[in-house]
A = this chain, B = another copy of it.
Amino acid sequence: MKNGKKGITASILGASGYSGAMAFRILLRHPHVDVENVFASSGAGQHVHDLFPALRGLTNKCYEDYSEEKVENSDIIFLALPAEHAMDIVPGLLKSGKRVIDLSGDFRLKDVDLYSQYYGATHRAIDLVADACYGLPEINRSSIASADLLSNPGCYPTSAIIPLAPLLKNGLIETDDICISSLSGVTGAGRKTTIDYSFAEVDGSVKAYRVGDHQHIPEIESILSDYSQKSVKVSFVPHLLPTVSGIYSTIFVRPKGEFRREAIEEVYRLAYGEEPFVRYHGTEIPQLKGVLGSNFIDFGWKYDAHSGKLILFSAIDNLIKGAAGQAVQNMNIMCGFQEKEGLIV
């Protein structure tokens, strides 16, 4: 932190999207952060509150076209851009000494071939991939603190990894029979103008999409495999839900050996008993509305003795714990702030 400032200075690229705007909104109330500039290729010149009327009166900033000199006073840069943008921008930022929190998928996969396969593009900053730190504090806090390039998790992966990780690490469930049925609100698709996301098409409906080829599949599998030191495979089906926000994941798994309730309870308590943003529900089923507007993940489970399946349920706000809130949580860890700062309202 520099003299005379309340803490650090940040800038946001892609601040006209839902995640980027949410990051801005959270930083506006953060006691230790000043926002230098917010960038948006399409909205440059417009006030932020023209696009996000809720921010009127809270900020007078306008969107700008990005250039590196406009972030020269920023200590940390949030990238909330579509895939394939961060990989071109990050190298320069790191060279000029900035720390970067990337909300896209560009640095989440250590295997660049998987990146090519699922993102449909060749990676152009391969040498940085290995050093990027996957920013899921619940499984990875210690390495986040010193990261210069923080790769912020995807929304679906956050909802799936947190309930699955302790069970896999402790060998309580099979690694090859994991079925994830996830529901996402419309903002999960970004601030899109295609007919698929119009109110007239979405309201009252629901549908699965990108079955078997969603880019969050390798993210979920690789993070869980690394963490548990086992080869993990998942079957993942995302659905578009007629809500603005939120992700709700229902996960069917098979207990390894005999089901023991106490073992489940214990690994979860050990894993998350002290976590500031994990609300463990035990065998109570969470609902989506409980987490909307917050950085919490709510999760619980039921054992269906009849079929022998253990079923996990998790809920997050896709724009907060699934994107911007988690990014700020990571920033707090990186900068030595209290982890909850700016995130409890």
Taking CB atoms and an 8 Å cut-off, the chain A residues in 239-269 that contact chain B are 239, 241-246, 248, 250, 252
Q: Known contacts being A191-B200, A211-B285, A244-B204, is A54 close to B235, with CB within 8 Å? A: no
Contact, CB under 8 Å: A212 / B306: yes
Task: Please give, as numbers and ranges, the residues of chain B lying within 8 Å of A285 by CB-CB distance.
Answer: 207-209, 211
Does A126 interact with chain B (Cβ within 8 Å)? no
CA of A18 to CA of B303, assembled, Å: 33
Task: Please give, as numbers and ranges, the residues of chain B lying within 8 Å of A246 by CB-CB distance.
Answer: 204-206
Does A234 interact with chain B (Cβ within 8 Å)? yes
CA of A285 to CA of B239, assembled, Å: 11
For A199, A303, A311, A313, the residue with the greatest tally of chain B CB atoms inside 10 Å of its CB is A199
Contact, CB under 8 Å: B194 / A345: no
Contact, CB under 8 Å: B53 / A287: yes
Does A60 interact with chain B (Cβ within 8 Å)? no
CA of A185 to CA of B201, assembled, Å: 12
Does A298 interact with chain B (Cβ within 8 Å)? yes
Does A69 interact with chain B (Cβ within 8 Å)? no
Contact, CB under 8 Å: A203 / B203: yes
Cβ contacts A292-303/B at 8 Å (1 or 0 each): 111010100011
Does A290 interact with chain B (Cβ within 8 Å)? yes
Closest-CB distance, A164 to chain B (whole angstroms): 14
Closest-CB distance, A218 to chain B (whole angstroms): 10
Does A270 interact with chain B (Cβ within 8 Å)? no
Specify which of B201, B296, B306 is in contact with A289 (CB 8 Å cutoff): B201
CA of A290 to CA of B56, assembled, Å: 8
Q: Known contacts being A204-B244, A206-B248, is A212 close to B304, with CB within 8 Å? A: yes
Task: Please give, as numbers and ranges, the residues of chain B lying within 8 Å of A197 by CB-CB distance.
Answer: 198-200
Task: Please give, as numbers and ranges, the residues of chain B lying within 8 Å of A298 by CB-CB distance.
Answer: 53, 56
Closest-CB distance, A80 to chain B (whole angstroms): 16
Binding stretch for chain B, among A7-15, A90-98, A176-184, A326-334: A176-184
Cβ contacts A158-198/B at 8 Å (1 or 0 each): 00000000000000000011110101011100011111011
For A248, A289, A293, A309, the residue with the greatest tally of chain B CB atoms inside 10 Å of its CB is A289
Task: Please give, as numbers and ranges, the residues of chain B lying within 8 Å of A54 by CB-CB distance.
Answer: 289-294
Contact, CB under 8 Å: B345 / A279: no
Q: Which residue of B lies closest to A310 (CB)?
A: B235
Does A307 interact with chain B (Cβ within 8 Å)? yes
Q: Would you list 10 pairs from A and B whose C-beta atoms are within 8 A, ordered by A residue?
A: A54-B294, A177-B177, A179-B309, A183-B239, A193-B194, A203-B243, A208-B285, A235-B309, A239-B250, A242-B243
Interface residues of A (CB under 8 A from B): 18, 29, 53-54, 56-58, 176-179, 181, 183, 185-187, 191-195, 197-209, 211-212, 217, 233-235, 237, 239, 241-246, 248, 250, 252, 279, 285-294, 296, 298, 302-309, 311, 313, 344-345
Known: A53-B286, A233-B306, A235-B309. 18 other contacts (CB 8 A): A54-B289, A56-B298, A192-B198, A198-B199, A199-B202, A199-B203, A199-B244, A204-B243, A204-B244, A204-B245, A208-B311, A211-B311, A212-B304, A212-B311, A233-B307, A234-B307, A235-B252, A237-B252
